[in-house]
Amino acid sequence: MSSGQQLKDRPRASRSRRGGGGGSGHGRLTVKRVAILGVTVAALAGGTTYVVRTSVENNSAPKKVLEPDSFLALDPNAPDPEADILKENAVQALRKDRLERGRDRKNGLDPVDIVEKAPGGGGFNPANFPPGSTPDPGSNKAVGKEMAAARGWTGAEWGCLERLWDKESHWNERAMNRYSGAYGIPQSLPGSKMASAGSDWQTNPATQIKWGLGYIAGRYKTPCGAWGHSQRVGWY
């Protein structure tokens, strides 16, 4: 090969070596790539460790039990689909029993039980009623009428409220639905929801009425709105 030919081919070989070096560099771990890879692995490992640690801590943490006072901060009118389903199931169970026993609605099975001990739940223990005390639906109704009037619910609105709680509990503060477990004059489900109106919800008719009026105002606006819903579906 002539020297001229060698000079002509030398740059091409040099370019080939540079090109070859570049091609092999794509498959080689450079210092920069090692650093990036290290940071990525560390981030992934750290994130995974955090998730696992948080999950373990949450699962091993003692479960928080609501205390009676904490119910004062709850919203009594917040949507409760689970309670609505229980109410619907209770209505269906009552209709089934009435149908099977061949009784009509007027003279048929009453879903209201008058319990001998106030139910617990939500941080409250079952409670005995005050010794010698007896329910007084007439007095309870008078209190309810006065409290409803304070909200402007008189006339037809009072008539709707009177019929609604006649049907639900007979205005008896010890009333419990035998199918759903709803409790009290307004038939709160569960009864412990009424703790948002007072810690004496188990035995005090006025506290139960206060909660019930707030529930009606928040969910149905007026007693007639609640009564209309009850007439359509069997619960409110």
pTM of this structure: 0.63
One DSSP character per residue, 167-235 reads HHHTT-TTEEETTT--BTTTTBSSGGGGGGT-TTTTT-HHHHHHHHHHHHHHHHSSHHHHHHHHHHHS-
pLDDT of residue 49: 42
Which residues have C-beta within 8 Å of that of residue 109, sequence separation ≥ 6? 94, 97, 98, 101, 103
> How far is Cα 128 from Cα 111, in angstroms, rounded to an integer?
22
| Amino acid letter, residue 224 | C
Rg (CA), the chain: 36
pLDDT along the chain (236 residues), means of 10: 46 44 50 54 44 38 40 55 83 76 63 94 94 96 98 98 98 96 96 96 98 97 97 93
pLDDT of residue 85: 86
pLDDT of residue 34: 52
